[in-house]
Structure 1
């Protein structure tokens, strides 16, 4: 440990020694001396003042000595000291002839000599500075007394320099041998400083005079630079009027207020006087800008003037046809860092005669109106605009280009997003599966919000794994934000991801899981639907074929056949009782049932024993006598009360002819059977006509046809 410390101390000592011996040596030679004789009106005995420059070493003491001698002799004199100036007294030199003057520096390591200055003492006479004063306030004219006049010397040229109070650089002009100067085109309400320096016919030029401060005449402030702030959307209706503050010289120190004339689209106008001292919420100002807080919605144009104690500015006019703003027509190019924003565009092939200028603006995203906003106006022949400011990292700035016509109407050309420094974006806020198929899936997502993009998003990447990655455009035209992921396997689970990409790289991933459908499920669904369709078609065909008489399809369910009338429905007979004596009974139609097929039954009041004996005597194989007298009509129901009694009495006399007919013969569905029945009734003159009888009814007829007792009960 001690060895390491010793080595370290030795190395430090060697370095110090090296620096000492490398710096040690003769001093640096001083500069050539500058000498002059200040002219004194009181005496001619004036010393020569000389000065020089050098770089003395504070660690090594250095002495300086001023030496002079006549140019034609070797007799010299000198003085020594440590300062950088010296005096040659009047008794030590002559006004006639030249002098050689030099400076010598000396230290413990050696000495160095400056270059010699050779001059005639009569040529280094320096007159005193002139005294200046203001002549005219309106034109800023100054005058001075020439110093050479008092010295009774010939007058030489003079110089004037000036600057504003806010500037640090002097501007110089030569004015010749005159003793006055007039400043052209001064800015109103501006403080200027003036200085004058003169020379005589021979000798040096005098030092600058003391500064003369003059304030230019106060007048009405100059016109305002106005524009509108619509946020990050140039086509927005929610805009505010904004203008740049006037400098002290432009405003003539104090702006008392503003006059705003607002013209609306409906033809009305409104004058608003806004006080600068008591704005009452109508005016918001900072160091650079002011804004009129009222919205410009439904406004066609705005006129703005500022006024002070001396007058009002020329109105600044701005037309705001927001509804006429067109889509982007011209691309703009941005070059941006933390200090500068450069916007460039291509000059149109043909400039419009109505084009006045370009306006370039930027708006920091997320800021309210009037903040993070600036604009510049560019001559119509230029294609570049430059902003100087502090632009934050990873923050989007909306840059827009406009054209302004001679009538102060503007049109939006193009917009772009710029970043002073770009980073990786955040993840998408929403990512989901929109629809699922067997071999593909449709994905849907929401774009990354502007304030979280951290840069210009070039595209979105969607993938299932590292091999299957798709790049999807992030352009505004791709508004639906959907993507179909192809070439998937049926019935398989997947995890898909999405991320945004900038020049700084990809951002965070957002994932979603899903399972594709089975292909056989889809096939089975198709087969099932086809089977149902075929079955429905078969049923419809059978129904259309078998809806006729049951003789065509005797095995079909009865629901496909026409309804069989049930004689027990006694209301049918009651409704038909008024149609017995109607000669057109064959065209009667019942009220509640369409075209019923019924037969007239004979009512025989006999005892059960007599009924049985009558059945035994019956030899008609067909059963009951046919009772139908017309298609769909019965004599029993079509008669009135008197006719009904007569028919019943007549029918009692023909009991021996009572019988039952087969049920298939009881339903007369064609006109021939009706006609035949009418002929038989005319021949016999009886209520019943039958040619065949049978002792007992069939089982089918017994089931459906009522007995005489059942009819009487009705």
Structure 2
């Protein structure tokens, strides 16, 4: 029942739907006695709108301060059903309007007590009320309740509030004896007065790496927890850190930092006394200083640290106790990001007193799932701080948000080297356990390889040349796997090792083609080089151009010092009897009919020498195999009486040299003196011989004279380079010249 309108509202709930349309719900009321055993008088029924499970009786239908019976009836085509009857006095179910808060003030001044002035709602002035007051610091969730506030005390005192804190206050009331509570009154705001902070700061420090190799100053980061509201006694305006000592002449210690943050960084000279005073201050003054000692000594770390997730925003941290007795521990944690790997901006820490602890629950608002955290544990000793132990952890893990992007660095005929950049730590969503690389070529099966998470390169081997391959990577964590995009690559048809071979083979083929072209152009010369053509003297034209009677040919006299362009390779001696004999040729054995041979000697002994006549067909022989054109000479001797070399009665030339293609005589018409000239190349220097005087006497004396002349000529021939080995017919003493 509303205390202002005095209307009574009943509410009910249907247990089940009748599943029939046309159901009729009716709220009935009856007057009754105190024990509600008899229904004395019925009041007008209340019919609710369709679909509504409540109905209100007006004030005129009610009987106050006596019991009444209320009941709900539901009727449809199949029948009717009634609820259990409810027996109550309408005044016992009255719901008052909320009270009004007028004023809140501190009583007395500079204490933690307040006085709240309030007023009950209209319509409850003559009722006995019971009220409650609740309050909370602004920004917090929980409320503090104050009970036993009655209508006889319009001012409600309360103590235990924080200094300098803004509060929210609300109040509600109910009619006595028990009835429904009113709604909470509108919020009333109140700020308590301030006083100087009363607590101490919880501080921690850590050394930072030096700014550079030449820097001697030590970077120190000082950290502290915000002061608790019950200790702050007001709004903290800032924090002030100073050295605990001051130099002579200074009125106050040197200030290290004065900030509104909960951390600061400063430099200290190595070896300086590292004791710092830290205070918090508000409008009423500073707090008691907190002494922070920066120990140079570093103690032993804990042997091992373990971290396991507790829930989405907390870790369980456990460790083995160190060898030395510890006085406490400090646990640090920070979220690892690519832009801030040290985690200075998101650093959390807590100090745990007691050296017998071996585990702790880390729970903070700055811990999020799927993010990596680096957790460090420092043992505290009486005179120092131990070295930290570090471990990385996740509260929850899932599949990576992305995979590394593959890049092809080096591709050959059968291999492909792949490279990738690691995933950003914010996108990993867990610890990367491994990478799996898949590749498939045209008309090939899928292949794969598992790569360690610490690797960033991989070489695929066993590929086919000149073929297309599709490659993609899968990144895996404990929470799942993610596939990356596909990389298309083509293996080479040849690589660097094949190029020199191809170039060499091509060059060899070109060289062979060039050689063949040259051979075709110079076929005659090449044929001569590989298969030299040795002319056959028997088939030469020497016999055709030789004159019939050489001793009758008028040959011009040779010029002095004329260079002979002819290289004589073989000499033939032809006699007037028509027989031709080879007298000399280098490397040739003595031929039949030559002087000095047995056949020649027998022939000379048996047959007389015929008279001079024209030479018969000359017999030719080769001198040697040579790439040059071979030259041949033919010596013709005129027949004389008694087989003499030259007839003393004939002044015509007795020896001539016939060269191929020329009729110029090699030897002069007179051979009075033969003198060798050893000049390279040899010169055919021939001088005319003076006519030999005819000896007096008979034929025997003349024969001796001829023999003496022939001996002298033979002696001269042995010194002439071009005529060495020439065997003149009729001179048996020159047979040994064939061996020269």
**Both proteins in one fold, TM over 0.5:** no
TM-score (norm 1): 0.44
TM-score (norm 2): 0.42
* Structure with bigger gyration radius: 2
